[in-house]
Amino acid sequence: MAAAIGMPQQTAKLGFAVGVANISVKDPTGATDNEWVLRPLNLLYTNQAFGLYRYWAEAFYQEAVLSASTSEIGQQVKQFGVKASLQREIASHNIGTSWLGVGLQLSYDRYEDRHTTDNSGFLAQVYPNRSGLEPALLLNYVLEKNIAGWNVAGKVEKSIPFSDGTSEFIISVGLLFSF
């Protein structure tokens, strides 16, 4: 929708998303399994930055249980945090507008019930819980289409921790409303 002459165009959008994530943990004690988990609610905000660029921000929470084995550390992962990306419009076509972005994530991650099992599935070793702030690099791609005043956005994202932490591959769908 075009803005009235002399009035700035509204580019701010607010919304929510649901999705799935394949997560694994870079654990200082050893290898971990990876697991697909539901990301039930992400809060979204985006706004025009300059030219073909925009800001994309998210707040999120997720939980996962990684299975233990003789060689992999099982654990329960709880994570909440914020993400911020700068995205560039790379194409606009009849199926929507494509955005490619890079950003940072800062989350508080808690790793509980860390353990390994023996060949029979019994508890073999227990490790102490750990937690902390975990920064990560974000690489993302968004395809967005306006349908009846709502922008439907599909997103694919990779989160790469800078040190020990949670690595994720995320697929989500969101609804954004201009305000």
150 — pLDDT class (breaks 50, 70, 90) = confident
d(CA 176, CA 89): 17
CB contact burial 70-106 (16+ within 10 A = b; e otherwise): eebbbbebebebebebebebeeeeeebbbbebebebe
Residue 123, in any domain of the structure: yes
Indicate the pTM of the whole model: 0.88
- Domain containing 121: what range? 65-80+105-136
Residue 119, in any domain of the structure: yes
Residue 44, in any domain of the structure: no
What ranges make up the beta strands (E) of 51-148?
53-66, 74-93, 96-117, 123-127, 130-147
Residue 47, in any domain of the structure: no
Structure tokens at 2: 């075009």
Residue 73, in any domain of the structure: yes
Q: Exposure of 4 by Cβ count < 10 A (0-12 exposed, 13-18 middle, 19+ buried)?
A: exposed
Each residue's pLDDT tens digit, 53-110 = 999 999 999 999 999 999 999 999 999 999 999 999 999 888 999 999 999 999 999 9
Domains of the chain: total: 1
Residue 166, in any domain of the structure: no
